[in-house]
Amino acid sequence: MESLDRPFTEKEISNAVFSLPKGKALGPDGYPSEFYQTFWDLIKSDICKFFNQFHAGNTDISRLNYTFISLIPKKQEYDQATFIKGRQISDSFLTVAEIISHNRRIKTSGVLLKLDFEKAFDMYVYCFNEKNRYQDKLPNVDVFVCTADPMIEPPAMVINTVLSVMAYEYSPEKLSVYLSDDAGSELTFYALLEASCFAKSWIPFCKKFKVEPRSPAAYFKEERIGPKDGLQAAEWEKTKSLYTEMENRINDVVKFGKVSENIRQQHRGFLEWNRATTSQDHQAILHIFIDGRDKNAIDDEGFTLPTLVYMAREKRPYRHHNFKAGAMNSLLSLSLSCILCYISNEQVCDIWFVPFSYVITATTIFNLWEALSIGYTMKQWWNEQRMYLFKRLASYSFAFIDTILKHLGLNKSTFIITAKVADDEVLKRYEQEIMEFGSPSPMFTVLATLAMLNLVCLIGGTKRLVLDEGIGLLGPMLLQFVLCGSVVLINMPVYQAMFFRNDAGCMPTSITLTSVALAMLAYIVPEQYFRFPRIS
């Protein structure tokens, strides 16, 4: 009886462990005896502690195999072997038998790890619930891809952008992709027709094998040699072959300059084009290639495809609708409203400054709170405010100047083709929240000129305040100082890109020199030829 009441010793427990037969486990789900014997030096203290707690009556042995069982809703995913087309659970046993037989034939040593096959087929890395927790609350997303000229922007390049957007990890029922063709070209229309067919293979391929990047051209350029895995290698070869054939067909049509009659007969959408149709004279064209609401709009794996739409707004020679950014009459009406605001709008009394300032302050604070609540940093929010101002300064000014020069016959602007695939350096700058200015776009010339003009004016005003007229200048000029200083503060990334950065995303030297010259000219000419009132 004394031996029964005495606590377990380490030697007794050790002898019991090492007396266990080889290849046996403590229960259906227990570790084999080899595990305890091999790692005994590491686990013996915990094992001995557990046995003595049990001896003292501090452990409920009935809870050793206590398990929480939760039912996880199953989702048909590509990663689950049981859902692969043509795959059966019995195939796994046949595969194991073949492996064993093969190893015996070639007399190669190896290790086979036996698993509970029922559990193996139930196991699933289940990030689905978290990722799609708010699936029903996700907003509908419309993505617009714009193109201006099939000769400058090859249709094969444009559809790569379209296909990469269609392959987004987003609910396809809530994703719509629109190709806005400013040229109204049948070549681009044909390329999108080909893309709508290729998308049925490309989208499931991307999601099945977690393809990155999702532009076919960029992906197959990086992955010149396909994977060696049997299933993925076969699908890789098939998908690459489909893409190459599609790209060749599109390029052949572009080289020929028009769509052949055989192709025209394949789709009724080509009836929109006739001999009288040109890029500057055509009716509005709208065609839905893939309607996400249609139950038949599915890919090769049976999943819903995103909506895909081709659109080209109406253009007529006798109407002012020849600008990529929108109808000219809308642009002119907005510009005239801004120019004539001091004449046409009534003066606001001082007391009415309060509600306007309240609205501005309240909306800014609410916008900041909203951005922070969804995970934005202060820098991200501030950069977003910068972009709002950049778009207003650059786009309206550029459109106004371009319109005047075009009507005077002095300028015909061209569109700068930007890269559709970001390299590692661009991605690095993007992750660091550094703005990209690399391409020599006319928009950047306007933006840099306005930024430099405000900087020069702020320096000139500060000189008048400090050296010439003193503190008396602040009274009538305070708001001008605040406004000019705010614009300078917002344009800090522009100054950094012009003068302090030397990476590939900095402002091109030609734009920097042009903007400095224009800003100095705009500052010096009025200073020389107009007399400014002095504050006494």
Annotated binding site for UDP-alpha-D-glucose: 153, 182
* CA–CA gap between residue 473 and residue 479 (Å, rounded): 11
Sign of the CA dihedral running 479, 490, 460, 394: negative
* CA–CA gap between residue 257 and residue 267 (Å, rounded): 18
State the binding site. 153, 182
Instruction: Kindly state the tokens that stand for 364.
Output: 């800014």
Identify which of 257, 269, 276 has the alpha carbon closest to the alpha carbon of residue 317.
276
User: Can the peptide bond before residue 213 be classed as cis, meaning omega within 30 degrees of 0?
Assistant: yes
- 178 neighbors 142 (Cβ within 8 angstroms): yes
Instruction: Kindly state the tokens that stand for 256.
Output: 């020929």
- 488 neighbors 458 (Cβ within 8 angstroms): yes
Contacts of 326 (CB under 8 A, 6+ apart): none
Radius of gyration of the chain (CA): 35
* CA–CA gap between residue 457 and residue 526 (Å, rounded): 12
Angle at 315 between CA 314 and CA 321, to 5 degrees: 105
Identify which of 435, 422, 445 has the alpha carbon closest to the alpha carbon of residue 501.
435
* CA–CA gap between residue 124 and residue 116 (Å, rounded): 14
* CA–CA gap between residue 458 and residue 444 (Å, rounded): 21
Contacts of 472 (CB under 8 A, 6+ apart): 535, 536
Residue type at 471 in one-letter notation: I
- Count how many residues are written for the chain: 536
Name the H helices within 8-76. Answer: 10-18, 33-38, 40-55
Residue with tokens 């699908």: 235
* CA–CA gap between residue 149 and residue 158 (Å, rounded): 10
> Hey, how many other C-beta atoms are within 10 angstroms of the C-beta on 282?
21
Contacts of 473 (CB under 8 A, 6+ apart): 461, 464, 465, 535
Contacts of 232 (CB under 8 A, 6+ apart): 209, 226
Residue type at 17 in one-letter notation: V
* CA–CA gap between residue 460 and residue 484 (Å, rounded): 11
* CA–CA gap between residue 497 and residue 505 (Å, rounded): 8
Strand residue runs (E) in 281-356 = 285-290, 307-312
